[in-house]
Structure 1
């Protein structure tokens, strides 16, 4: 049962930024204003993520070059984690490195084996400026690392190497959304 407002319920679904747009490969700006515009951005991020059936979404994925991301993601024990982080810093990524399938709403319909640590800790702030620390394991740790990459101007395809990278780039070139 949910308590409190449903994230994204007041948000507006915005168009997704797709691979090839420069905003995805440019480090995002720090958020300085924790006012109503930031709260609206977080709501829009949740609404867009849910509409696209994702588990995480960074602001640059809707064309806003700000260090903000949202998530609604299970860990490997099916525990659901819902929240957002403003000005996130990945302060720990450790444990076992696992190569697992990873996708991205900015590369719709594609995925590739990507190496990530199975534990991650992200620190930052809420939209109201309160400090927050998020600790994730398993799939949720993958999500946290993925979203921190986004605000740093990196997409998962940048981490894929060798034949997996070549195959993924061939799939990107053929993707209907690239036209």
Structure 2
């Protein structure tokens, strides 16, 4: 069991698009260890999702922990969103202690694979939809504060610069 430290805003790994996991690597000890670390890390209290870049790994993988449902997806892609985007107060483990109104679709569906290459589909509304969109954004090299409306983003970046953890 390894709970990995979370990389914080400003770390270059969070700005880089994650690489797909090659099908030949699925099932390997390294990928199995990554999945276990993601699951162990997301089980910490107050965590809804952890993307591999947040633990310093530039691969397309994330774990989730929403309403008692814990799981993971490798090589995830958002295959469906629906509903008019709504403002939700959103936070991020990589931007600790801060939350901002973020536009998210109220429904999202993600498709990927598990460690053995079997198809995985995860979907949901509310917090699950928010978490799926948030984690896939991380895999594209986007931290949610960069998607905020311009005035809110400016304030968020000012707030981040004032945080002890940012320096």
TM-score range, shorter chain: over 0.9
SS of aligned partner of 2:116: coil
From 140, 153, 163, give the equivalent of 2:141: 153
TM-score in terms of structure 1 length: 0.88
* TM-score normalised per structure 2: 0.94
- Which blocks of at least 5 consecutive residues in structure 2 are unaligned? none
CA root-mean-square deviation: 1.2
| Structure 1 residues 64-83: aligned runs within 5 Å | 64-74=57-67, 80-83=68-71
1:24 aligned to 7, 14, 34, which one?
14
Which structure 1 segments of 5+ residues have no match? 1-10, 75-79
Following TM superposition, by how much is the alpha carbon of 1:151 offset from its aligned partner in structure 2, in angstroms? 0.6
Pairwise mapping of residues 49-88 of structure 1 onto structure 2 (< 5 A)? 49-51=42-44, 53-74=46-67, 80-88=68-76
Q: Is this contact kept in 2: 1:52–1:105, CA < 8 A?
A: no
For residue 3 of structure 1, what is the aligned residue in structure 2? none
Please give the secondary structure, in 1, of the residue aligned with 2:154: helix
Return structure 1 stretches of 4+ with deviation > 3 angstroms: none
1:154-173 alignment, distance < 5 Å: 154-173=142-161
Does 1:139 pair with 2:127?
yes
